[in-house]
């Protein structure tokens, strides 16, 4: 198994791949050249919808359209990616903070975290946004919120702080409330930082290692089971897709990367894919 370019995106900061079972297509965003994208693997065509501000993460809505974490807050978008309504904005200062990674949970809520752009302190947070616009923070403050994912039995949530090289694990009760928190995995500094992630049908956590040039597969206990090279030094997030959910897609970045790195990794910013021997799971819809 190995990753190959699925689409020559050359994205500034590709993020949040999300597979649509209904459309058999992959949605993804470019945060820094703001756009919402739809990639059709059957034709190789990508359709980009320009956005008027940074867009960090998306989820599908039950009634159609998207929920999206953007610089100005969490928005409801229609099928064409147009803004309908601002749902929540808990950030104290959007000039130095924006929404980053996020995912819909099994209860139809949107978990979305922020990045504190000065990166001089833990000024970011992870929020749980309900269909009614309710919004509350969970876990500890972070510098860059990433890696949100959920176990197949809906009893565990995962969340990473990328600059800290750590992935947290939250125990969930039957209603999705956090009952306990602890460290799931830590990565040695200089070997790559845990960015966006996905959980497969067997409960293993797959994390893109930013500046590590690979995706790591971790057991439900946090042990590294395997690592897969990516043709970009900065993979950002992974998602399972394809008709059988056995294709792992990975976005990547080239924004603010040094020239010598881009010369060594010319495929940086592309969308990559790899066949896997285990399936992923269909993503739930946001209830709003």
Entry pTM: 0.98
Choosing from 195, 200, 244, 259, the catalytic residue is 195
Q: Read off the pLDDT of residues 222-252 as tens digits, 9 standing for 90 and up.
A: 999 999 999 999 999 999 999 999 999 999 9
- Number of Cβ within 10 Å of residue 140's Cβ equals 12
- Average pLDDT, rounded, for the chain: 97
Query: Is 80 exceeded by the pLDDT of residue 259?
Result: yes
The string of pLDDT tens digits covering residues 14-44 is: 999 999 999 999 999 999 999 999 999 999 9
Query: Which tens digit of pLDDT belongs to each residue from 110-158?
Result: 999 999 999 999 999 999 999 999 999 999 999 999 999 999 999 999 9
At residue 1, the pLDDT reads: 72
φ, ψ dihedrals at 204, nearest 5°: -85, 145
Q: Which domains does the chain have, with CATH numbers?
A: 4-275 (2.120.10.30)
pLDDT, one tens digit per residue, over 72-106 is 999 999 999 999 999 999 998 999 999 999 999 99
What is the pLDDT, as a whole number, of residue 238?
98
Cα 274 to its chain centre, rounded Å, is 17
Active site (annotated) includes residue 195: yes
Backbone angles phi, psi at 25, to 5 degrees: -145, 160
């Amino acid at each position: 198994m190995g990753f190959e370019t699925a689409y020559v995106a050359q994205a500034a900061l590709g993020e949040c791949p999300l597979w649509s079972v209904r459309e058999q297509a992959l949605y993804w965003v470019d945060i820094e050249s703001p756009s919402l994208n739809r990639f059709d693997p059957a034709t190789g065509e990508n359709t980009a919808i320009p956005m008027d501000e940074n867009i960090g993460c998306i989820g599908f809505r039950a009634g159609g359209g998207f929920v999206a974490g953007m610089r100005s807050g969490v928005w409801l978008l229609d099928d064409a990616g147009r803004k309908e309504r601002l749902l929540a904005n808990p950030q104290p200062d959007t000039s130095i903070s924006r929404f980053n990674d996020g995912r819909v949970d099994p209860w139809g809520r949107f978990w979305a975290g922020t990045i504190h752009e000065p990166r001089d302190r833990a000024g970011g947070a992870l929020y749980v946004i309900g269909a009614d616009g309710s919004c509350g923070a969970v876990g500890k403050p972070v510098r860059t919120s990433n890696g949100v994912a959920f176990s197949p039995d809906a009893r565990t949530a995962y969340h990473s702080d990328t600059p800290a090289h750590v992935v947290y694990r939250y125990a969930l009760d039957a209603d999705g409330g956090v009952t306990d928190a602890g460290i799931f995995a830590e990565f040695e500094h200089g070997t790559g930082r845990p960015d966006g992630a996905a959980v497969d049908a067997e409960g293993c956590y797959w994390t893109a290692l930013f500046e590590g040039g690979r995706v790591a597969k971790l057991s439900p206990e946090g042990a590294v089971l395997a690592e897969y090279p990516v043709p970009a030094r900065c993979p950002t997030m992974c998602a399972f897709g394809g008709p059988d959910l056995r294709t792992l897609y990975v976005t990547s970045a080239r924004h603010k990367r040094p020239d010598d790195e881009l010369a060594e990794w010319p495929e940086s910013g592309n969308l990559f894919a790899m066949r896997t021997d285990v399936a992923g799971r269909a993503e739930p819809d946001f209830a709003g």
